[in-house]
């Protein structure tokens, strides 16, 4: 009799755990609300962002990246939809610009810390998980590179680490190497106010991108179309930083 009771109890426990597991598997995914807030303007100049601000800029338009109503990042510029659930947008950074010798005077309107705004890296944002991951674009220079996005490709003028050579770069999100990296010209810093390169132009069929280095004729390159290599996470707990930072290949000057 005792054996029958133990057997029945074991069977009921097993049924409970199986049903619980099935419920967990079938449970709906937690949905997130990911939106960009309204535009606001903040003070901005080359004094606070030497590499990113134009000589005559005095304002930066920023928008909040909100996940479930909570501020995650500040962004600037237009967003680009990569897929129906992922988009890229540029981050805006607020940095502490206080020097060690700066002192708080306690005067009205004075602040213990001085802050400046800077244009930051590009972010890949997943609307399902709410993750925002910085993209490390090869040879990206915030003062010169103005990415033109198409699908999961970013085309822009890149600069080598020495700052002497201008390159035509096409990077694909999650690809380990740039799709295109061709030297365009040497860089002259005689006139820092003049733009070095305009945003590239895309053509769909055949897939082609055209670069516009300053003072030179436009240069076009045919791109062999390939499948997207972006892998979007299926779990809220998955680290979204894996596999989305293209590596920079070394190139001669």
Which residue positions in the chain have pLDDT lower than 50? 3, 7-8, 10-12, 14-16, 18, 21, 23-24, 26, 190, 238-253
For residue 155, what pLDDT is reported? Answer: 97
Residue with tokens 């910085």: 134
For residue 182, what pLDDT is reported? Answer: 94
Nearest alpha carbon to residue 237 among 28, 93, 8, 30: 30
């Amino acid at each position: 009799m005792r054996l029958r009771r133990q057997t029945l109890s074991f069977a009921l426990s097993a049924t409970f755990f199986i049903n619980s597991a099935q419920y967990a598997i079938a449970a709906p995914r937690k949905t997130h609300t990911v939106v960009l807030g309204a535009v606001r303007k903040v003070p901005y100049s080359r004094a606070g962002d030497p590499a990113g601000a134009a000589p005559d800029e005095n304002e930066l338009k920023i928008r909040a990246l909100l996940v479930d109503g909570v501020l995650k990042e500040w962004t600037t510029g237009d967003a680009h939809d990569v897929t129906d659930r992922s988009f890229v947008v540029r981050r805006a950074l607020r940095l502490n610009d206080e020097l060690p010798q700066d002192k708080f005077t306690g005067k009205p309107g004075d602040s213990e810390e001085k802050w400046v705004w800077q244009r930051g890296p590009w972010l890949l944002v997943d609307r399902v998980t709410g993750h925002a991951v910085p993209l490390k674009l090869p040879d990206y220079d915030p003062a010169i590179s103005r990415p033109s996005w198409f699908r999961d490709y970013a085309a822009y003028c890149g600069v080598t680490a020495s700052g002497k050579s201008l390159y035509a770069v096409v990077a694909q999100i999650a690809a380990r190497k740039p799709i295109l990296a061709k030297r365009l010209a040497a860089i002259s810093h005689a006139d820092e106010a003049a733009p070095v390169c305009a945003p590239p132009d895309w053509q769909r069929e055949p897939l082609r991108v055209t670069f516009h280095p300053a003072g030179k004729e436009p240069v076009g390159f045919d791109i062999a179309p390939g499948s997207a290599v972006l892998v979007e996470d299926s779990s809220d707990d998955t680290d979204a930083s894996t596999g989305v930072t293209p590596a920079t290949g070394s190139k001669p000057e």
